Amino acid sequence: MEKQNFYDLNFEQLRAFLIKNAGVDFKKAKMRSQQLFNAVYKKNIKNFDELSTIGSELRNKINSLISLDKPKIVDIQKSKDGTIKFLLELKDKRNVETVLIPDKSQSRYTICLSVSVGCYLSCEFCATAQISKKLVRNLSPGEIISQIILCKDYINDWSTNKIITNIVKMGEGSPFLNLDNVKVAIDNLKNKDGLEYGRTRITVSTVGIGTKKDNLDAIEWAAKELDVYLAWSLHSSIPKHRSELMPINDKYSIKSLIPQLKKYYEKTKLPIFIEWICLEENLTDEHAIELIKIMKKVPSKLNLIEFNPISNKGFKAASQESVDKFSKIIQEAGFLSLFRRSRGRDINASCGSLANKKALNI
């Protein structure tokens, strides 16, 4: 029988597993789960034989039922700006990429996680979508959270003061097409016996998937179940133009998403991050005027993102003059606008650049 992967379970799932499969008494299951979470997520044990708080009989039972297997790091690339890109090999030999982005001091990192192999959303400016054209498969909860464990190991981030301070699910794939597994991973990130990250240290991105989830709109469900920052990949405020950049707009329009995004804010009290790739064609006055209308309806902050060209597309990166002019219009309307420089461009680790052909068998 194949062992249960520890990282695929949140706290309550582990508790139920121990009761059902390991013969742990119902009254002691919570304590045992706390011991295991603490040992794995805080003390960084690599084998259950290292457990000193659990008797040998139960320890052996756990060892026979649960594994601590993680993906393998098969390649590491380092940018001249300090960004580090990891190529991970999954159990089925597929690959995904994870990125560590340092701050200016090179002492704190943001980690950018992937949630799937490939993506079918076909955003015109994104290398992942342009190379894959398909979703090969979603990552399991363990494959998502293992990216953090592996990176923490690499930079020795197991002290009280975290080196990896922020987590963004903005790598390969769309979190809203893998919500159940993303939820388990976030549960373990936030759990006080787990990695213990505050909700404002975690950001989940969406192009705007308006499907239903447990009788709620997906974005409203995420507000209730994830309760972290939400980044909306908008990139154009003009519907026809957005559909040209992002075909998903034909199915889930800007107009249809605004009520859901308002509910997300009302539930979480966290402003929405609006993501905007900086192209010459989407930094017009008309785009700014329409964007301001959206920001008046949805409490939000604007992140202007430097465009990273992909080989087969004719998009032109916006000039700094165009970026500054657009940002000034937004700020003068009373909204926060920040410009984010690309990191890791020389190793294809920047926003919209993650696309490993080996992962897709092409």
Catalytic residue among 112, 126, 278, 351: 351
Residue whose C-alpha is closest to residue 249's, from 231, 236, 230, 263: 236
Residue 307 · residue 279 · CB < 8 Å = yes
Catalytic residue among 57, 97, 306, 332: 97
Q: Is 97 a catalytic residue?
A: yes
| Whole-angstrom distance, CA of residue 276 vs CA of residue 258 | 16
Neighbour-count burial of 186, counting CB atoms closer than 10 A to its CB (0-12 exposed, 13-18 middle, 19+ buried): buried
Helix (H/G/I), strand (E/B), else coil: 60 = helix
Q: Hey, what's the torsion of the CAs at 340, 331, 268, 174, to 10 degrees? A: -40
> Which residues are CB-neighbours of 196 under 8 A, at least 6 positions away?
41, 42, 190
Count the neighbouring beta carbons within 10 Å of the beta carbon of residue 324: 13
Return the ∠ at Cα 14 (arms to 13 and 17), rounded to 5°: 85
Strand residues in the chain grouped as ranges (E): 4-5, 66-67, 72-78, 84-89, 95-102, 109-112, 116-118, 135-138, 164-169, 202-206, 212-213, 216-217, 229-233, 272-278, 300-306, 337-340
Residue whose C-alpha is closest to residue 327's, from 359, 362, 295, 361: 295
Q: Hey, what's the torsion of the CAs at 351, 190, 218, 277, to 10 degrees? A: -20
Report the catalytic residues. Answer: 97, 351
